Amino acid sequence: MEEGKARYRYHRAWPLLLFSLLCYFMTGTVSSIMNVSVGIMEAERGWNATLLTASMSIASLVNVVTGFVAGRMSSKGSAKRACLVWGVLYCVGILLMGVSSSAGLFVVAMVAANAASSAWGYNTVPVLITNWFPTKKGSVQGFTSMGILLGSFSTVLYTQTYRVLGSQWATVPFAVIAGVTLLVMALGVTDCPEQSGLAPDTMDRIAVQPEFDPSRAKPGTASGSGEGEKGKLPSREAARGFLRDPKFLAMTAILGIQLVFSGGIMVQVVPRLVEVGFSLDEATAVLIISSVCACVGSFAFGVIGDKYGVDRGVRLSFAVGLVAALMNLTGQRVVVFASLVLIGIVVGCADNWPVNVCAELYGREGFSASFGVMQPVIQLVGAAGPAAFALVANATGSYDASFVMAAVMMGVGLVAYSALMRKA
């Protein structure tokens, strides 16, 4: 691939790309499994399905805690080593979910597996991606994070395995996939390309630097010595300072709006379509199309961020979300369908902006410290999405109100982000 005089040999980083794609796939496996397994466990083992479903709320809170832990692990040491920890914990947890003899053990195993997959994919893999592709992270992040959306097929995989092997072994395929992922990492992934004899972004061949540390390289250069040099950007030890930085926290809250939008609006797609006259089968088909569009949005906005800057990409995504919500409010079938295509695109890119913003503002020298704080806070903010939209819909008796709220949120996010960046 060419851009100007530079050649980008992405194929040389195929182990990282495959590893990242698989990690992102696993971030949604536990929640997808729970969609099916709670009914199975109630029927086969007599466990209370309502309590099992409610335990997902506990899992979401634990994700925030492990997100901070993952951030600290990556900023203080090796992101690859952190991935190993999360991968092993995921394998243990996912296997225990199948063989648990009590509901309590099942919940503990589920929470552990869910937390590990979240910390592995959402909080640690972006550090490796940014270390390898500091200026092309948008395109790479956009491609690999498609795995999040592919994770929706986990329900099918679990169901088919359950029918063949029974509930005890239904989670084994996920442990196998995780094992393969860890093997790919062990054989072909290093904390940064310099350790593999490759230059950042271009993947040109260079001398192998096994002790290279990107967090201590000179900022603004493709490759510093990595041996004790400290740049002007925040170092690993500066993570706590981000929590005391009003502008950083404001940026985090603003980007969190898109996560609230994404999490809240997607769970209301089917009932909203039925409300405006679609049949249940039509609504389900549109939801699938919207999910496919999320894959497109993930990659397309990554390319836009790389080519035109993250600032423009974030503004455009807020604007597209605002227009999509307003289009949905027309109630006209064709326009509503088009709005959900656009909503899918916005949902696809929402998870990627924290990665791209931290990488562009702080470089790979300060990425792990900044992202290790921003991502868990955004996860906490975004977790409110489904409940917030459900409360609005229930209070008004119509899903129109949810889309009004979505339009207001995206409009506020656009204005707030633009104002914040003007001050920066």
Q: Are residues 367 and 241 in the same domain?
A: yes
Decide if pLDDT at 311 tops 80. Answer: yes
Domain that holds residue 175: 2-191
Return all residues near 79 (Cβ < 8 A) that are at least 6 apart.
Answer: 73, 124, 127, 128, 131, 191, 368
Query: What's phi and psi for 6, nearest 5 deg?
Result: -85, 145
Q: Are residues 257 and 387 in the same domain?
A: yes
Q: Are residues 119 and 262 in the same domain?
A: no
Q: Are residues 277 and 406 in the same domain?
A: yes
pLDDT at site 114: 93
E strand or H helix at 2: strand 2-3
Distances in Å between the Cα of 112 and the Cα atoms of 14, 109, 175, 381 are 29, 5, 14, 21
CB 203 within 8 A of CB 10: yes
Q: Rounded to an integer, what is the distance from CA 371 to the centroid of its chain? A: 12
In a domain, 352, yes or no: yes
More confident residue, 372 or 192: 192
Q: Are residues 141 and 32 in the same domain?
A: yes
Q: Are residues 186 and 301 in the same domain?
A: no
Last residue of a domain, one of 131, 162, 191: 191
In a domain, 198, yes or no: no
Q: How confident is the model at residue 231 (pLDDT cuts 50, 70, 90)?
A: very low
In a domain, 104, yes or no: yes
Number of domains in the chain: 2
Decide if pLDDT at 235 tops 50. Answer: no
pLDDT per position as a tens digit, 6-33: 678 888 999 999 999 999 999 989 988 9
Decide if pLDDT at 278 tops 60. Answer: yes
Q: Are residues 10 and 113 in the same domain?
A: yes
pLDDT at site 59: 85
Q: Are residues 274 and 182 in the same domain?
A: no
Residues 172 and 62: their CA atoms lie apart, in Å, by 24
More confident residue, 54 or 246: 246
Mean pLDDT computed over every residue of the chain: 86
Please give the span between the terminal C-alpha atoms of the chain, in angstroms, as a whole number.
33
Q: Please report how many Cα atoms fall inside a 13 Å half-sphere around the Cα of residue 234, on the Cβ side.
A: 25
Q: How confident is the model at residue 219 (pLDDT cuts 50, 70, 90)?
A: very low
In a domain, 415, yes or no: yes
Last residue of a domain, one of 191, 222, 255: 191
More confident residue, 114 or 220: 114
Q: Are residues 117 and 243 in the same domain?
A: no
CB 263 within 8 A of CB 382: yes
In a domain, 205, yes or no: no
Decide if pLDDT at 245 tops 50. Answer: yes
Give me 258's structure tokens.
């898109």
Last residue of a domain, one of 191, 219, 249: 191
Q: Are residues 179 and 303 in the same domain?
A: no
Give me 28's structure tokens.
């949604």
In a domain, 70, yes or no: yes
Decide if pLDDT at 259 tops 90. Answer: no
Q: How confident is the model at residue 391 (pLDDT cuts 50, 70, 90)?
A: confident
Q: Are residues 179 and 289 in the same domain?
A: no
The arithmetic mean of pLDDT across residues 124-152, rounded, is 86
Q: What percent of the chain has pLDDT over 90?
A: 44
More confident residue, 336 or 149: 336
Decide if pLDDT at 137 tops 90. Answer: no
In a domain, 174, yes or no: yes
Where residue 403 sits, what CATH number does that domain have? 1.20.1250.20
Q: Are residues 187 and 246 in the same domain?
A: no
In a domain, 211, yes or no: no
